[in-house]
Chain A
Amino acid sequence: MTPLLLQTLRVGLVGTPNSGKSTLFNRLTGMHQKTANYPGVTVEKKVGTLKAVETAIELIDLPGTYLLADRTEEEKITKDVLLGKTSGMPPLNGVLCVLEGTAFEKGLPLALQLSMIGVRWALVLNMNDEMKARGGLLDVTELQKALDVPVFLVSAKTGEGLEELRGFLEKGEWTAEAPLLSENHLPSKMTFQYVLELRRRAERIAARTLKKEPQSDPWTQKLDAVFLHPRFGPVIFFVLIWLIFQSLFSWATPLMDAVDAFFSWTAGVVTQTFPKSLWASFLADGLIAGVGSVVVFLPQILILFFYIGFLEQSGYMARAAVVMDEWMRRFGLQGRSFLPLLSSYACAVPGILATRVIEDRRDRLATIFVAPFMTCSARLPVYTLLITAFIPDRSLLGGFLNLRTLIFLGLYVLGASAAVVTARLLKSTFLRSIPTPFFLEIPPYRWPTFQSLLVFLKHRAVIFMRRVAKVIVLVTLVLWVLASFPRPPEGIPPSIEQSYAAVLGRTIEPLIKPMGFDWKIGIGLITSLAAREVIVATLATLYHVEGAEAVSGGLQEMLRTQMSIASGLSLLVFFVFALQCFSTVAVVQRETGGWRWPAFQFFYMLFLACGFSLLTYQVASRLI
C-alpha cells in the first residue's frame, strides 16, 4: 500500500557560514551537492527531498549568512526566500536555523531576526561532537525557554541527534498554513546600533545558557603552528600545490590506461563483429573513438576534485585564502575573490556563481572577468594529451621534477598570470574602487567525512559524464558525418581530404596557418567553442576516420605525425587563454545581466589566445 501523501512540507535551511549546514542537508536528504568547510560555499539554493512516512518534506538549502540583510547577492537570496518574496516559490512552512554549536553566540543574532519576521522556526546546534570534545556544555531547556522555539543538539558528521530532528519534522507540527511574514521589524538599512542591540541580546542569552565554555581545539592549535608557521607555512603551501600536480600525472596514468584499453577493446569488437559496414565505421570511429577519448580523463579529473574537496572540507583552504590575501590585494582583488578564483580551477561556472559573496560590484565584475583564466578541469584533457604527445618524459634535478610536470605547472602559472595582469588592468581603469574590508573566519581543522567527499566526487563525475553525453556525443556525430561524406565511388578508398569537413576546414586554414594549425586543428577550435575538451574528441574522430587504427600508440602518436612541436606548443598556449565554453558565457551573461561583459570577455580572451599562439609558433618554429 502506498502511503497517502498529505502535502509537501517546505522547510528552509538557514545558518551562518561554516555551521556545517550543507553537511546536515546531505545527511538529511542524501542528496548530492557540494559541501565545504569554508565560509560562503553554498551559493545557489538547493532543494532535496526527505523521505518521511506521511508527509513529503522538501528541504531548501539557503546561502549561509550572519544576518538577514541585502548587501550581497547571497544575502538577498536568503532574505527573499525567507520572506516568501521569491517569485515562483511559495512561502516556507518552517525554517531550521543551523548554528555552529561551539560558537553559537556568534550566530544568535540571525536566530533572533527569524523570530522578528514571524517565520516558524527551530534552532539546530550542529557539531555537538566537537562541543563535547572541547568540554563545552549548554543548558538546552534554558535556551528553548529564552528563544521560545525547539532546540536540537546534533552532529551532522556522526549522525547524533538527527533521529530526533527528523522525528520532529515528520511529526508535522509545521503542516498548518504558513504564518504571516513581516519585514517591519527589519531595518531598511543596517545600522551599527541595530546590530549592536542584537549582539547584546545574544550575549545575554548565551550568558544564561552556556554552562561550560568550550576550550580551543588542541589539534587545530598544533596543526596551525605548522601550517601557519611564519617560514614553513608558505613553504608547505607551495609544496602541497607541487605535489598535487605531480600526482595528477603519475597517479592517474594507470587508471587512464585502463579506461583507454576498455574503449579500444570495444571499438575492436565492433569492427570485428560488423566488418566494413558504414554502421561499424560510425560506431567505432565516430562514437566510441570520440567519447572514449574524453572519458579517459575522468580519473584525472576526479583526482583533482578529491584534492580540492579534501582541502576545502578540512579547513586548509580558508588558511590558504588568509595567507594569499596580500597577493590578491596587490593585483587589485580582495581576499573574498580568492575562493571564487580557486573554485574556478575546477570549473569557472561555480566559480562565477561564488562571486555572489562579493559586496562591491566592481570587484565582483573583475573577479568574474578573470575567473575563466584559471585552469579549469576541462583544460586538463587538452593539456595532458598535448603534453604527453610532444614533451619528452624526462627527469630534471635528479628525479625531483619531471619535464612534463614542469610544463603542466607552467601552463597553470601562465593562466593565473593572465588573470592577475587582467585584474590589475581592470581595477586600475574602469573598475576602480576603494579597497573593501576583509575578514575571514578560520574554522577548526575538521576531518572530512567519507560520505561528503564521496557525494562531492559523485556529483562532479555526473556533471562530467552529462557533458560527454550531451555535447560530445552530438558534436562527434555531426563531425563523423562531415568527415565521412561524400563517400567515394566503389573501389576507391575513402579519403578524409575529400570530405565536407576538409572543405570547411580549408576555408579557415589561411587564418590559422600563422599560428601553426592545419585544417583539422581548425575544426577542433570551432567545435571546442562549445566546451574545451571537445577538441580531443574531434581530433580522435577525424584521425580515426582517416585510419588511425593502423597506428599504434593512439591519439598521441597520431598527433606527433600530424603536427610539429611548435604547433603543439602553440595549441597549448591557445587553450590557456581562449574562452571556449558555452556554459561560462551563459553564466556570465546571467550574472552580469547583459551581453556586454560576456562579449567583451570572449573577444579579449580570443585576442590574447591568437596573439600568444602566434608568438609561440613563430618563435618556437624558428628555435626547434
Chain B
Amino acid sequence: MKTLNDLPVGTSARVCDFQGEENVLCRLVELGLRPGLSVKIVRRVPLSGLLDVEFLYSRLALRPEQAACLLVEEEVVPHDAAVKKEERK
C-alpha cells in the first residue's frame, strides 16, 4: 500500500486508511483528512522538504513522518471530476 510520501509532486490521490500513533491520527483527522478524501501534492517545500498538500479547499504542510500515516490509492486524473460529484451526494 502506498503512503502520501510515495506520490510524485503534482498528482492527486484518495486517502483510504490511516496508520500510526493515535494522537497523530486524531490531529490529522481534526485538520480535515478522512478516508475517501482526495488530496493533491502541490510541492515539496524548499529547505525543509515538507509536503505541501491541498485538500478541502485549503493547504497543509506535513513532515514525511506524518505523511507516512496516510495510506492512499492513486487517482486517475480524468476520473477526478466524476468522483468529486459522487462524493457530494
Same complex origin of A and B: yes
Chain A residues close to B by CB (< 8 Å):
66-67, 71, 100, 102-103, 105-106, 109, 134, 136, 190-192, 195-196, 199-200, 203, 207, 210, 213-214, 216, 224, 228-231, 233-234, 322-327, 335, 435, 437-444
Judge whether B60 and A234 touch: CB under 8 Å.
no
Q: Bound state CA distance, A234 and B44, in angstroms?
A: 13
Q: Which residues of A contact B66 (CB under 8 A)?
A: 437-439
Minimum CB distance partner of B84 in chain A = A213
> Within the complex, which residue of B27, B49, B87 is in contact with A437, where a contact is CB–CB below 8 Å?
B27
Among A224, A231, A335, A437, point to the contact of B24 (Cβ < 8 A). Answer: A437
Q: A109 — which chain B residues lie within 8 A by C-beta?
A: 30
CB pair A326–B47 under 8 Å, yes or no, is: yes
The residue in chain B whose Cβ has the minimal distance to the Cβ of A438 is B63
Q: Could you tell me if A192 and B22 are in contact, using CB atoms closer than 8 angstroms?
A: yes
B63 touches A325 (CB 8 A): yes
A192-B29, A440-B60, A440-B61 in contact; A203/B34 too (CB < 8 A)?
Answer: yes
Q: What separation, in Å, do the CA atoms of A78 and B58 have in the docked complex?
A: 24
Closest 10 CB pairs of A and B: A326-B48, A106-B32, A325-B48, A103-B58, A442-B59, A322-B61, A66-B30, A195-B29, A233-B46, A199-B34
Contact of A322 among B18, B32, B50 (CB under 8 A): B50
Whether B45 sits at the interface, judged by CB under 8 Å, is yes
Q: Which listed residue (A136, A322, A441) contacts B45, Cβ 8 A?
A: A322
Q: Are A106 and B29 interface neighbours, CB within 8 A?
A: no
- Within 8 Å by CB of B23, from A66, A67, A190, A224, lies A190
Q: Which residues of B contact A100 (CB under 8 A)?
A: 58
18 contacts between A and B (CB under 8 A): A66-B30, A100-B58, A102-B57, A105-B56, A106-B58, A195-B29, A199-B34, A228-B45, A230-B46, A233-B47, A322-B45, A322-B48, A324-B47, A325-B45, A325-B50, A441-B58, A441-B59, A442-B60
Contacts of B26 in A (CB 8 A): 190-192, 195
Do B88 and A207 have beta carbons less than 8 Å apart? Answer: yes
Closest Cβ–Cβ distance, residue B3 to chain A (whole Å): 15
| B75 surroundings in chain A (CB, below 8 A) | none
> Within the assembled complex, what's the spacing in Å between the Cα atoms of A103 and B87?
16
Residues of A within 8 A of B58 (CB): 100, 102-103, 106, 441-444
Q: How far is the CA of A369 from the CA of B60 in the complex (A)?
A: 29
B42 neighbours in A (Cβ, 8 Å) = 224
Query: Closest CB of chain A to B67's CB: distance in Å?
Result: 10
Bound-state CA distance A271–B24 (Å) is 68
Nearest CB on B from A101, distance (A): 10
Q: Chain B, interface size: which category? A: 35 or more
Residues of the B chain whose Cβ atoms lie less than 8 Å from the Cβ of A441 = 31, 58-61
- Decide yes or no whether B62 CB sits under 8 A from chain A: yes
Chain B nearest CB, measured from A192 CB (Å):
5
| CB-CB under 8 A for A214 and B30, given A325-B50, A439-B62 | no
Besides A207-B88, A224-B42, A438-B62, 20 other A-B contacts (C-beta < 8 A): A66-B30, A103-B56, A103-B58, A134-B57, A136-B57, A190-B23, A192-B22, A195-B30, A199-B30, A207-B89, A323-B48, A325-B61, A326-B48, A437-B24, A437-B27, A437-B66, A439-B27, A441-B61, A442-B52, A442-B61
Name the residue on B nearest A108 (C-beta).
B32
> Are A199's CB and B29's CB within 8 A?
yes
Residues 38-82 of B, flagged 1 when their CB comes within 8 A of A and 0 if not, give 000011111111101010111111110110000000000000000
Answer whether residue B7 sits at the interface, using C-beta atoms and an 8 A cutoff: no
Complex Cα gap A438–B63 (Å): 6
| A102 and B59 alpha carbons, distance in the complex (Å) | 12
Which B residues touch A195, using CB under 8 A?
25-26, 29-30
Q: Which residues of B contact A324 (CB under 8 A)?
A: 47-48
Of B18, B43, B88, the contact of A210 (CB 8 Å cutoff) = B88
**Chain B nearest Cβ from A79, distance in angstroms:** 14
Shortest beta-carbon distance from A323 to chain B in Å: 5
Whether the pair B18, A200 counts as a contact (CB closer than 8 A) is no
In the assembled complex, the CB of A313 is this many whole angstroms from the nearest CB of chain B, namely 17
Instruction: Answer yes or no: B28 CB below 8 A from chain A CBs.
Output: yes
Contact of B34 among A196, A213, A229, A325 (CB under 8 A): A196
For residue B24, which residue of chain A has the nearest CB? A437
A195 to B29, CA, bound (A): 7
Contact B46 A191 (CB under 8 A): no
Which chain A positions have C-beta within 8 A of B57? 102-103, 134, 136, 213-214, 216
Q: Which residue of A lies closest to B59 (CB)?
A: A442
Q: Provide the bound-state CA to CA distance between A438 and B29, in Å.
A: 14
- The CA-CA distance from A467 to B57 in the complex, in Å, is 44
Chain B residues with CB below 8 A from A233, complex form? 46-47
CA distance A191 to B87 in the complex (A): 25
Q: Count chain B CB atoms within 10 A of each CB in A191, A440, A442 and give the residue with the most.
A: A442
Contact between chains at A105 and B32 (CB < 8 Å): yes
Closest Cβ of chain A to B55, distance in Å, is: 9
Q: Which residues of A contact B34 (CB under 8 A)?
A: 196, 199-200, 203
CB distance from A217 to the nearest CB of B (A): 9
Flag if B63 contacts A437 (CB, 8 Å): yes
Cα(A440)–Cα(B50), bound, Å: 10
Q: Which of A190, A213, A231 contacts B46 (CB 8 A)?
A: A231
Query: Which residues of B lie under 8 Å from residue A214 when comparing CB positions?
Result: 57
Query: Is B18 in contact with A192, judged by CB distance below 8 angstroms?
Result: yes
The distance from the CB of A338 to the nearest CB of chain B, in whole angstroms, is 11
Q: Give the complex CA separation of A567 and B63 in angstroms.
A: 47
Q: Are A207 and B87 in contact (CB-based, < 8 A)?
A: yes
Cα A71 to Cα B34 with chains together (Å): 21
